[in-house]
Amino acid sequence: MEQLFSEGIKKTPSSFIREILKTTAQEDVISFAGGLPNPISFPINELKESTNRIITTFESKVFQYGTTEGYEPLREYIADRYKAKHGLKFEKDDILITTGSQQALDLLGKVLINKGDAVAIEKPGYLGAIQSCSLYQPSFKEITLTQEGLNTDELESVLQNNKVKFLYTVPNFQNPTGITYSRENRAKIREIIADHDTFLVEDDPYGDLRFEGEDLSYIGGDFLPQSILLGSISKIITPGFRLGWICTKNRELMNYLVIAKQAADLHSNIFAQYIIYDYLSHNDLNQHITKIKALYKEQSSAMKEAIQQYFPKEVSCTSPQGGMFMWATLPKGQSSLDLFQRASQKKVVFVPGDPFYTNQTNAPTLRLNYTNSNPDTITEGIKRIASVM
């Protein structure tokens, strides 16, 4: 039977996190594994009100097929928010609604990647992007991530020596490290990319979740003709609706993306799009986000304090100014996979570093999520991990 399956699917890794989450259904397991928003942040009552209101207002229309590009008022809202928050001159036609930003990655792969094409990604990089792109069998070019952002010397070398289709980045509170690219790093990347025929993908699911420091401008935004921004409601409203978007002013690219989406699913859930637009029209999103940021700051502080108190001093850890993750590095020669096995016996799980690299095993790194546990649970979980280090 093996010969019946595509080379792409056979070479695509399964999601390590999805597999871990299957084992965390037991109530006594403390999980720092998933990138899960805290459910107490979901605006349940407001979404109930929006659901009832759209059915009363639009009746059967909300249950009918929709346009591929997405619900027009929602696209206009997204474009207007980019203008208001970042000063970017986007219009509704620059927005394509997708089934989560994960579908955005898949559509970019379909439209841009031929087998063997070079794709540049962060090292370590978002495992969902690695998995999604792997289906199209690219040649991954990893660019080392520093505390300031991408190693720009490596980036320049990779772009000069390869025809790179696109560079994939998560510049705000990067997944998995929690690192945010500095202002200077962003400017240098913009300067480098401007000299090459390469698309720049800035995935920004966490940008609204800054609880320390100042907001920074996008690398590409509307400055570069090959700029692509990805966004999502998953981390600020609800992940279950699976609504995200692609934003680009590149008309040719957008036309191909629309065709690819038509072939994939015709359009994203139009009922959910009506609900979300109604919610945004009747509620103060910024006020809602402020509450989430206060919650995550408390949880982040609890994890930092627990790590400082219980982890060995030889273990280093990032200190994010927002987002959902911390990234720990063990002493040289130690394996986070081995630590994972020991920790799981103590009923606590995290994500070992291996899935965040395209070609590395027994990495001494691990990702810790702090947004889905209360401070007491975080402290207990860190103590359990520390006990088997």
Burial 245-257 (b: 16+ CB within 10 A, else e): bbbbbbeebbebb
The pTM of this model reads: 0.94
Task: Read off the pLDDT band of 2 (50, 70, 90).
Answer: confident
Cα torsion 292, 36, 269, 265: sign:
positive
pLDDT at position 23 over 70: no
Beta bridge partners of 316: 329
pLDDT in tens, 130-163: 999 999 999 999 999 999 999 999 999 999 999 9
Torsion-angle region of 97 (φ positive above 0: left; ψ -120 to 50: alpha; else: beta): beta
Strand 164-169 to 118-123 pairing: parallel
* pLDDT at residue 308 in the model: 97
State the average pLDDT for the chain: 94
Q: For 295-344, what is each residue's pLDDT tens digit?
A: 999 999 999 999 999 999 999 999 999 999 999 999 988 999 999 999 99
Token output for 102:
């994960």
Average pLDDT for residues 175-199, to the nearest whole number? Answer: 97
Average pLDDT over residues 260-274: 97
Query: Hey, CA dihedral for 89, 181, 128, 289, is it positive or negative?
Result: negative
Helix or strand holding residue 28 (H, E): none
Q: Which residues of 30-58 are buried (b: 16+ CB within 10 A; e: fewer)?
A: bbbbbbbbbeebebeebbebbbebbbeee
Query: Distance (Å, rounded) from C-alpha 304 to C-alpha 345?
Result: 23
CA atoms 76, 82, 87, 92: torsion sign: negative
Mean pLDDT of 204-225: 94
Select the highest-mean-pLDDT range: 9-13, 26-30, 133-137. 133-137
Cβ partners under 8 Å of residue 284, min gap 6: none
The pLDDT of residue 10 is 78
Query: pLDDT confidence of 20, banded at 50, 70, 90?
Result: low
- Go through the domains of the chain in sequence order and give each one's CATH number: 2-43+287-387 (3.90.1150.10), 47-282 (3.40.640.10)
Strand partners, 365: 329
Residue 133 confidence (pLDDT): 95
SS3 381: helix
